[in-house]
Amino acid sequence: MAKNDIIWATGRRKNAVAQVRIKPGTGKYSVNSRDIDNYFMSDASKGYIEQPFVATETLGHFDISANIKGGGNIGQAGALRHGIARALVKYNEDLRSVLKNAGMLTRDARVKERKKPGQPGARKRFQFSKR
């Protein structure tokens, strides 16, 4: 990879889709043209997003730019984490084993179950009445 190459990857979680671009840099994060501190307010989400960098010991080596659509805060953070992990593997194939063992390359396929007809929710039933 050349010094200024931009690597694209897509991450998904629940209904959120993150298009992630990484390039070698100083560790700046931009999500939907906003700073990460303004986009993800909780420290837990920020820590969750940085997990691929911590696992591969590359924290502060890349600039991140991402567009995220759909889902909520946690789903979007998970999608961004997944996209970052996939982009790091494209950057350096040697990082695959570390990220795979940490479970960051697997798409979390759990999505909200649909509501069924004649019921108040996906699993909930109306109260049974014998008479």
What's the pLDDT score for residue 131?
87
- The architecture (CATH level 2) of 7-101 comes to 2-Layer Sandwich (3.30)
How many angstroms separate the Cα of 95 from the Cα of each of 10, 12, 120?
17, 20, 46
What's the pLDDT score for residue 87?
96
Q: Given CA atoms 58, 63, 67, 68 in this order, what sign does their dihedral have? A: positive
Taking the model in full, what pTM does it have?
Answer: 0.89
What's the pLDDT score for residue 1?
57
Q: Is 92 left (phi over 0), alpha (psi -120 to 50) or beta?
A: beta
Please list the pLDDT of the chain residue by residue as tens digits (131 residues).
565 689 999 999 999 999 999 999 999 999 999 999 999 999 999 999 999 999 999 999 999 999 999 999 999 999 999 999 999 999 999 999 999 999 999 999 999 999 999 999 999 999 999 98
Spatial CA neighbour of 11 closest among 22, 2, 1, 25:
22
